[in-house]
Amino acid sequence: MSVILHLSDTHFGTEQAWVQHALNELIATQSPDLLILSGDITQRATRAQFAAAHDWLDRQAVAHRLLLAGNHDIPLFALWQRLFSPYRRLRRGLQVTDLSPSHVQHPLHVLSVKTTRRYRHIDGEISPAQIDRVRRALLAADRDALKIVVTHQPLWVERSSDLHNCCRGAERALQAWCEAGADVFLSGHIHLPFVAELPDHPGCWVVNAGTALSSRVRDGVPNSCNLIRYPTSEGPRCCAVERWDCPSEFRQFRLVAQQQLQLRARETSS
């Protein structure tokens, strides 16, 4: 059994100490193999905020982690830096070398896409070159692997009021990546957790995370994160997604929803 912890929108600078403590406890008890943080790691991309994020991440006993930039991880007011070195603070503060990192270790095949742009304040964007890169990587993945693509801005949303938050190029990306074998798409950005099967792509799922640590919660939804469990046994392909919330009245993360995702059948080799 492989276990993934999916966090998003920690927004260091607005983090809450009691939620951090609760998340520390959840990580210690659940022992995930991989920690994915799908963007908006900081609130304003300051050196101090990246340092706080780095210190917190380094205290977590997780063997592997995948960190992706969000729109808040590019300096907003330092215009010179935003234009000419938008990711310098992230690279230095979190010791990041790859802005579209991947994690390939059986049975997981996790790819990510940098959807942020220096010339866009909030919106995400996926280029044709990025679509093709990920498509090729998915086609080359082991047929038994759980194939995940991570973006900051979502590729699909449940609410029509959130459509403007989808990445530009999302439709083309979903079409290409689902055809190439993607199973699950992880994202954040809108501070609203949900799990949904794509209407036009049966067996392909979108899993969006809420804000893990920030006081900037939305619509009364408390801080939350996702745990994804993928069994290595034979049989129908599926994975379990658990949503863990941290309501202020309990001051700890509690399992509030669990869903079995039925994935597409393995392709038989000829």
The pLDDT score that the predictor gives to residue 80 is 63
User: What average pLDDT does the segment 92-112 reach?
Assistant: 96
pLDDT digits (tens, 9 = 90+) for 78-100: 676 777 788 999 999 999 999 99
Positive or negative CA dihedral for 172, 187, 198, 260? positive
User: Measured between alpha carbons, how far is 56 from 77 in angstroms, rounded to an integer?
Assistant: 25
- Residue 133 lies inside a defined structural domain of this protein: yes
User: What average pLDDT does the segment 20-39 reach?
Assistant: 98
- Could you tell me the pTM of the whole model? 0.95
Which pLDDT band, with edges at 50, 70 and 90, does 234 fall under? confident
Q: How far is CA 183 from CA 80, 124, 180, 211, in A?
A: 39, 21, 10, 23
- Residue 44 lies inside a defined structural domain of this protein: yes
- Residue 132 lies inside a defined structural domain of this protein: yes
- Orientation of helix 170-179 relative to helix 128-139, angle to 10°: 20
Residue 268 has pLDDT above 60, yes or no: no
Cβ distance 60 to 29 under 8 Å?
no
- Residue 52 lies inside a defined structural domain of this protein: yes
Tell me the CATH number at 212.
3.60.21.10
Give backbone dihedrals phi and psi of 228, rounded to 5 degrees, phi first: -120, 125
129 Cβ partners below 8 Å, 6+ apart? none
Domain count, the chain: 1
Q: What DSSP line would sit under 9-67, residue for residue?
A: ---BTSB-HHHHHHHHHHHHHH--SEEEEES--BSS--HHHHHHHHHHHHTS--SEEEE
pLDDT digits (tens, 9 = 90+) for 34-76: 999 999 999 999 999 999 999 999 999 999 999 999 999 999 7
The pLDDT score that the predictor gives to residue 83 is 76
Domain span at 183: 2-262
Mapped onto helix, strand or coil, the DSSP state of residue 262 is: strand
- Residue 11 lies inside a defined structural domain of this protein: yes
Say if residue 107 is preceded by a cis peptide, omega within 30 of 0. yes
- Residue 267 lies inside a defined structural domain of this protein: no
pLDDT digits (tens, 9 = 90+) for 116-149: 997 777 899 999 999 999 999 999 999 899 999 9
Residue 270 has pLDDT above 70, yes or no: no
Residue 269 has pLDDT above 50, yes or no: no
Cβ distance 138 to 110 under 8 Å?
no
Which pLDDT band, with edges at 50, 70 and 90, does 32 fall under? very high
- Residue 157 lies inside a defined structural domain of this protein: yes
- Using a pLDDT cut of 90, give the percent of the chain over it: 86
Mean pLDDT of the chain: 94
- Residue 270 lies inside a defined structural domain of this protein: no
